[in-house]
A and B are shown apart, each in its own frame.
Chain A
Amino acid sequence: MVERETALDLLRTMWRIRCFEERVATLHHRLQVHGLVHLSIGSEGVAAGVCRRLRDDDAVYSGHRAHGHALAKGAPMDRVMAELMGRSAGLCQGLGGSMHLVDTQHGLMGATGVVGGNLPMAAGDALAARLRGEDRVTVVFFGDGAVQAGHFNETVNLAALWELPLIFVCENNGMAEFTPRSAHTKVARVIDVVAPYDFERRLIEGSDVGAVWTAFGEYLEQARSGTGPFLLECSTHRRSGHYEGDQQSYRDALADAEWAQLDPIARLEARGKDEGWLDDEAAAGLTAHADAEVDAAVRFARDSPPLSADDAAALVYAT
């Protein structure tokens, strides 16, 4: 199983994401983060378990629910917050916002707002790694809703045909926007959708960050040696709505007890206490530390002005 140091790092990462996103929700209500914002509260285990395995030169392609992936991959929290607040110090100088986080220094290569639009891009990136003979790996995150879109199948066929070093990571939260998976397809498990292509695939519980870490690690090792593709399907639970402001009339609230069962942070903390590597004080310390980092990130963002119109216009074409 996961070593203590690793477990602590995963827990710290998940708290950073959780505290960041809870603050984003607050800031969004106060109109300081504007536009469409999608939170991943409840799914931090996947972001942490996957991205903490990766090197800076491994590429991650994410989508509209990307905060966790960005932070876990190493994007500085203050610049992510500045991006969400539309400031020039943001990762993308405030031109992308929540749905389009990019941090090339840390291998966060793209996040697209169109469901599944990142899938073929990630395959192209993996092809680039193959052409150069690099041992870096490409990971693409997507939700179960993307699986019913044509580009999913086009990409899977090509990745399988060309045996690209690409790891598909599906965060299956059972909901595509506002409707359950059963309204989208007869095929409940995403791993069954790629069955015709017969590459390695596995379904795990995304709220068990240790399981994510271990399963992803096995695929990563193989992908590094140049084989692929792989599909890791992580069942997750979307604690928050599809987007901030979503009335969520489509579902019943889960009881707190059920929620705790599905919460990756609560699960790992319980295990840490069982195994004796975490006590209440240490857990509270992790939360406080994450909160303090968020405070600093918000201050950093507020100190940064928005980009000037001229500077923005200069970015339309590369010169």
Chain B
Amino acid sequence: MAREIPYIAAVNEAIAQEMARDDTVVFYGQDVAPSDEDPLVKSFGRDRVRVSPISETAEIGMAVGLALAGYRPIVELLMAEFMLVAMNQVTNEAPRLRYMSGGQVKVPLVLKAGYGFTAGWAGQHTGSIYTMFAGVPGLKVVLPSTPADAKGLMAAAVRDDNPVVYLMHYLLVLEHGDVPEGEHVVPIGEAAIRRPGNDVTIVATGWTVGKALQAAEALAAEGVDAEVIDPRSLQPLDMPAILSSVEKTGHLVLADQATRHASAASIIAAEVAEHGFGYLKAPIKLVTALDATIPYSEPMEAFVLPDEHKIAGAVREVLGTASAVA
């Protein structure tokens, strides 16, 4: 049975269900359940639900140790940027140990963090810095954009035998959507077609998925039939789904909240350029954040970010309809 719940509730439901299903799942982090009255503490006990100090290196490093010793820790990191404090553990220890040990060990852990909070949080709490992680072999990176995926990808992340960076989008936490009540697992590495279409492929991640859908609706009124694809994970990246869509539409627009030169869009563009060049009837267009730190003030913040108008504009450009509409 599915019912409508907010994205944030879906994330929490997945954690609780996974903890109930598997007693090797432990959950800790800053401000995780400081009160003994917290429902998670009551359900699973203080051993498995812990509040930890502001020590990201130790929190993440300990998760590696727990994982080596057979547990499946979920570390609450609140903000993706807080992982930067512990970059050695995230990118240089967790994802490399299995490989360097010749496959003897595995490091199943989930680094749960929010990102993209472009709501006046200024320069240090708003980044979409996922390619810093997606570029590291051994790490997986998931970016749920719907409540159902928020639940299903968390369940998949917990069950995965690899370190998974689970990035929940702070601008989406109160978005409601249908979420299955019981077990719900979304396989990591499978893109979702959010809107089928024939004229142009729009690939969007996280918060920009909604923006792409809005753009697609506006374009539909102009007779343009856009397909919107949400990769859902960046590592692994479902390139076959993207390529087959581009083969069908011949046009590609990439929407991404990350700064252009560190965007998933730039990676997808490179892959399509190499593997799908022959499908393209026009150059690829990227609609990303500008290469700037996110400013505090609202008009400037809006200026640097992608939105539905910029996405629709890019579609018109690749289709060569820009002048007609303008």
With contacts A102-B104, A114-B92, A120-B89 taken as known, whether A127 is within 8 angstroms of B62 at the C-beta atoms is yes
A124 lies within 8 A of B102 (CB)? no
Task: Tell whether A125 pairs with B69 under 8 Å between CB atoms, given A102-B97, A154-B57, A158-B58.
Answer: yes
B104 touches A104 (CB 8 A): yes
B61 near A155 (CB under 8 angstroms)?
A: yes
**With contacts A131-B71, A150-B57, A151-B57 known, is A124 near B101, CB below 8 A?**
no
Task: Assess the A158–B55 pair: CB atoms within 8 A.
Answer: yes
B100 touches A92 (CB 8 A): yes
Q: Which of A26-34, A239-247, A311-319 contacts B (4 or more CB under 8 A)?
A: A311-319
- Check A129/B69 contact, CB under 8 A, given A94-B102, A117-B93, A157-B55: yes
Bound-state CA distance A307–B70 (Å) is: 27
Task: Tell yes or no: B88 within 8 A of A by CB.
Answer: yes
With A91-B102, A129-B69, A315-B99: A123-B48 Cβ-Cβ less than 8 Å: no
Task: For the complex formed, measure the closest distance between the CB of A67 and the CB atoms of chain B, giving whole angstroms.
Answer: 16
B202 to chain A, nearest CB (A): 29
Q: Is B98's beta carbon under 8 Å from chain A?
A: yes
Q: Does A96 sit within 8 A of B, measured CB to CB?
A: yes
Contacts of B103 in A (CB 8 A): 93, 315
A120 to B99, CA, bound (A): 20
Contact: B62 with A95, CB < 8 Å? Answer: no
Kindly state whether residue B186 has any CB partner on chain A within 8 Å.
no
* Contacting residues of chain B (66-97) with chain A, CB-CB under 8 angstroms: 66-71, 73, 88-89, 92-93, 97
Q: A124-B65, A127-B65, A318-B108 are in contact. Are A95 and B99 (CB under 8 A)?
A: yes
Tell me, yes or no, whether B137 is within 8 Å of chain A by CB. yes
Q: Are B105 and A102 in contact (CB-based, < 8 A)?
A: yes
Closest A residue by C-beta to B103: A315
In the assembled complex, B138 has its CB within 8 A of some CB on chain A: yes
Asked if A119 is at the interface (CB within 8 A of a chain B CB), the reply is yes
Q: Chain B residues near A318: list those with CB within 8 A.
A: 98, 106-108, 160-162
* Interface contact A123-B137, CB-CB below 8 Å: no
A44→B102 CA distance, assembly (Å): 26
Counting CB contacts under 8 A, is A112 at the interface? yes
B47 in the interface, Cβ–Cβ < 8 Å?
A: yes
Which residues of chain A from 268 to 319 have a CB within 8 Å of any chain B CB?
307, 312, 315-319
Give chain B nearest CB distance to A283 CB in angstroms.
Answer: 36
Q: Does A59 belong to the interface (CB within 8 Å)?
A: yes
Q: Which residues of B22-56 are within 8 A (CB) of A?
A: 26, 47-48, 52-53, 55
Closest CB of chain A to B245's CB: distance in Å? 25
Within 8 A of B (CB), among A153-200: 154-155, 157-158, 161
- Cα distance A91–B106 when bound, in Å? 15
Would you call B63 an interface residue if the criterion is a C-beta within 8 Å of the partner chain's C-beta atoms? yes
A95 touches B102 (CB 8 A): yes
* Cα distance A202–B165 in the bound complex, in angstroms: 40
Chain A residues with CB under 8 Å of B61's CB are: 117, 119-121, 123-124, 151, 155
Using CB atoms and an 8 Å cutoff, list the residues of chain A in contact with chain B. 59, 61, 90-97, 100, 102-104, 109-110, 112, 114, 117, 119-131, 138, 150-151, 154-155, 157-158, 161, 307, 312, 315-319
The 8 closest A-B pairs by CB, nearest first: A120-B61, A124-B65, A93-B102, A124-B62, A128-B69, A154-B58, A318-B161, A92-B102
Q: List 16 A-B contacts (CB under 8 A).
A: A96-B102, A100-B101, A102-B105, A117-B89, A120-B65, A124-B62, A124-B67, A127-B66, A151-B58, A154-B55, A155-B58, A155-B61, A155-B62, A307-B102, A317-B140, A318-B108
9 further A-B contacts with Cβ under 8 Å, apart from A102-B104, A109-B65, A120-B57, are: A110-B97, A114-B92, A117-B93, A120-B65, A124-B65, A124-B73, A127-B62, A155-B58, A155-B61
